């Protein structure tokens, strides 16, 4: 959903939706998978762990969209949609509104193994797809897409905050402690540990109005996370007047950023 030019090109897919990946690309998936899975214990929420077990993603190659779709469609009616490396907001919201999650069919290069600013197939499939088997998470994502499709540009910028602090970088309070559910966290080696164990970031109880007033940057370890009590919170968001809350947030004003200024940051 970025306007910034990408240096990556997605692989074309055949009539069945399958792409051809080079041996090196499959090896990169294998390395990312093998180092990330052990980090999930006591850091990822149980709903994510359950979804990952349902998907049973391959550990030694890039998964194909059709094989992921079989599980998602049976669980919540969702599917993956192969897309170019970067897509515009209109296309992004249209896909979500139709229960299709965008999946750029490329994987990061080895020199960007630890951090890639744009979403690749590892981020989309490993980070997000396990929780797309959860009905509350899937319903919220669907409603978010429908809302964004009808919103103007200014409101979409505000809606991006809600997505960022939930679907990408959300935390959840469980009986065993705080766990991660955001795909941006769970596909990141460093942030998976940092978000749960570090004493540096601020962790706040989730409040939609508070979220809409909170700036963020995409290129740093997050200085603030919002913690939901259960996935019912996401489901309940689908019944709120979010556009009305956006207007209220504007009237109240934005919070001061908890990070150094940067011209290309999203605020």
Please give the C-alpha separations between residue 107 and each of 12, 28, 113, 119, 224, in angstroms, as whole numbers.
13, 8, 9, 9, 28
| pLDDT for position 82 | 96
Question: Which of the four pLDDT bands, split at 50, 70 and 90, describes residue 152?
Answer: very high
Half-sphere exposure of residue 142: CA atoms within 13 angstroms, side-chain side: 18
pLDDT(63) > 90? yes
Residue ranges and CATH numbers for the domains of the chain are 23-252 (1.10.800.10)
| pLDDT for position 4 | 60
pLDDT(265) > 80? no
Q: Does 254 or 263 have the greater pLDDT score?
A: 254
Q: What is the pLDDT of residues 95-149, one digit of tens each?
A: 999 999 999 999 999 999 998 888 999 999 999 999 999 999 999 999 999 999 9
Q: If you average pLDDT over residues 55-60, what whole number do you get?
A: 98
Q: If you average pLDDT over residues 53-68, what whole number do you get?
A: 98
Angle between helices 65-76 and 135-150 (to 10 degrees): 100
Q: Which residue do the tokens 């469980």 mark?
A: 174
pLDDT(260) > 70? yes
Instruction: Report the C-alpha gap between 175 and 177 in whole angstroms.
Output: 6
| pLDDT for position 261 | 78
Q: What is the pLDDT of residues 175-196, one digit of tens each?
A: 999 999 999 999 999 999 999 9
pTM of the model: 0.93
């Amino acid at each position: 959903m970025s306007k910034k030019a990408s240096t990556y090109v997605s692989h074309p897919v055949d009539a069945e939706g399958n792409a051809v990946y080079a041996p090196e690309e499959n090896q990169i998936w294998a390395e990312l998978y093998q180092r990330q899975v052990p980090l999930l214990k006591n850091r990822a929420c149980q709903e994510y762990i359950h979804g990952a077990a349902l998907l049973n993603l391959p550990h030694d190659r890039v998964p194909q969209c059709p094989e992921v779709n079989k599980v998602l469609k049976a669980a919540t009616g969702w599917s993956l949609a192969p897309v170019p490396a970067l897509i515009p907001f209109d296309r992004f919201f249209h896909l979500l509104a139709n229960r299709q999650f965008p999946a750029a069919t490329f994987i990061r290069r080895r020199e960007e193994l630890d951090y890639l600013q744009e979403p690749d197939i590892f981020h989309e499939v490993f980070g997000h797809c396990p929780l797309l088997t959860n009905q509350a998470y899937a319903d919220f994502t669907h409603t978010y897409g429908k809302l964004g499709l009808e919103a103007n540009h200014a409101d979409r910028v505000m809606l991006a905050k809600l997505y960022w602090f939930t679907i990408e970088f959300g935390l959840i309070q469980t009986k065993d402690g705080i766990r991660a559910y955001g795909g941006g966290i769970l596909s990141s080696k460093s942030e998976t540990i940092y978000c749960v164990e570090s004493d540096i970031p601020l962790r706040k109880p989730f409040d939609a109005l508070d979220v809409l007033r909170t700036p963020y940057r995409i290129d740093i370890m997050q200085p603030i996370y919002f913690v939901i009590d259960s996935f019912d919170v996401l489901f309940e968001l689908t019944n709120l007047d979010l556009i009305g809350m956006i207007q209220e947030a504007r009237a109240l004003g934005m919070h001061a950023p908890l990070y150094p200024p940067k011209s290309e940051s999203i605020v």
